[in-house]
Amino acid sequence: MLFAKLTLFSTLLTAAHPALSLKESLKNRHNTLVGRTNDRCAPGSYSSTGYSPCTLCPAGTYSKEYQQKSCISCRSGYYCPSPGQTSETACQPGTYSPSAGSSSCSSCPPGYMCPSSSLSNPQQCSPGRYSQGGEKECPRCPAGYFNNIHKATDCCPCPAGWFNANAGNTNCQMCPNQTPYSNPGTASMGQCTSKPGSWTPSKTSSQPSDGSCPPSHPLPSSIPKRHVKPKPKCAKSNEEACPIYSGLQLTGYGCMDVKSNLESCGGCIEYMFDGRPTGGRDCSAIAFANEVGCVKGKCRVGSCRHGFIVSLDAQSCVPSFGINPT
């Protein structure tokens, strides 16, 4: 049957074009069919008809078959980085893509982790863990530190008078009555001591729901007695009459520039009977600071000891958790 059709086609074609042989006629027909096939839009491109002229699929989309009339949006959790893609690419652990049609993946946000590929929704860090962004898994708070909130971006040091011996804990333990003193961030009960150091034992180690850390207050070497003495009037507007102590005795007052004085920054320092400071701030007592100054009435930390970095507001030193200061 096929032979008969080909013979008829050849006869008609030869009649119309006597100069063409059967072989030439079949070759022309083959070339016509091949040309039509080559006009199809290739994978990674499209047109309204599926044939040329074709346009590359834009970033965020792809096509994986020939002769496509439209492109497919990359699914959430995937991305298509540039025009002409023939497949979608999975976001890698530590990244995610929240919506379809993305041309890139986003770094996992602080307080979350992205433990697997193809994620569209990051997972919250659980209490006792934290993330500063881009994490496959939320690291545990190290010994001496804790948090008890979800989505934490940092860990709090155990306050003075408390300790935590295990990584990933959500609370701290109070030092024994016989050894009630410890520095902030103490990592074992053996570091608690019976001798007063630089810090007043805190009454609580609870972390508020807003994620702020429980404070630790410096312990003065001797708590001064209060004596009522008249304060002088200072000649300069930026000076205040601040108390001066010698041992337990208030010996007088001195006019200090509270805008730049390191030990009375922002105001005069006086101590309550439990050792808590009131008034301004003693910048020299900032924990773990190497370089510190008083600028316009506010403490500014210049550098910190090994294992700590300057906080974003330059008011304190916070654990580096492996981050190199820049």
Q: What is the pTM of this model?
A: 0.56
Least Cα distance to 106 among 117, 116, 94, 115 occurs for 94
CB burial readout 14-52, b (16+ within 10 A) else e: eeeeeeeeeeebeeeeeeeeeeeeeebbbbbbbbeebbe
Q: Are 134 and 121 in contact (CB under 8 A)?
A: no
Tell me the percentage of the chain whose pLDDT exceeds 70.
Answer: 79
Query: How far is the C-alpha of 83 from the C-alpha of 106, rounded, in Å?
Result: 19
In a domain, 79, yes or no: no
Flag whether pLDDT at 273 surpasses 70.
no
Q: Worst-scoring range by mean pLDDT, 203-217, 218-232, 248-262?
A: 218-232
* Of 7 and 157, more confident: 157
- Kindly report the number of other CB atoms within 10 A of residue 141's CB atom: 27
Query: 53 preceded by cis ω (within 30°)?
Result: yes
* Of 233 and 228, more confident: 233
Three-class SS state of 191? helix
In a domain, 116, yes or no: no
Whose structure tokens read 């400071």? 277
In a domain, 171, yes or no: no
In a domain, 255, yes or no: yes
In a domain, 281, yes or no: yes
Contacts of 148 (CB under 8 A, 6+ apart): 127, 128, 170, 171, 207
In a domain, 242, yes or no: yes
The whole-angstrom distance between residue 106's C-alpha and the CA centroid of its chain comes to 12
Average pLDDT of the residues in 55-80: 96
Query: How far is the C-alpha of 14 from the C-alpha of 73, rounded, in Å?
Result: 51
Q: Which of 142-156, 228-242, 272-286 has the highest mean pLDDT?
A: 142-156
In a domain, 274, yes or no: yes
* Of 23 and 116, more confident: 116
pLDDT score at 13: 44
Flag whether pLDDT at 264 surpasses 70.
yes
* pLDDT tier for residue 27 given thresholds of 50, 70 and 90: low
Query: How far is the C-alpha of 189 from the C-alpha of 165, rounded, in Å?
Result: 7
* Of 102 and 320, more confident: 102
* Of 270 and 124, more confident: 124
pLDDT score at 80: 96
pLDDT score at 6: 41
Contacts 24+ apart (CB under 8 A), 250-255: 250/224, 250/225, 250/226, 253/229
What are 180-209's pLDDT values in tens digits?
999 999 999 999 999 888 899 999 999 988
Tell me, what amino acid is at 194? S
Tell me the percentage of the chain whose pLDDT exceeds 90.
Answer: 50
Q: Which domain holds residue 264?
A: 220-326
Longest dimension (CA), the chain: 130
In a domain, 61, yes or no: no
What are 143-186's pLDDT values in tens digits?
999 999 999 999 999 999 999 999 999 999 999 999 999 999 99
Could you give the number of structural domains in the chain? 1
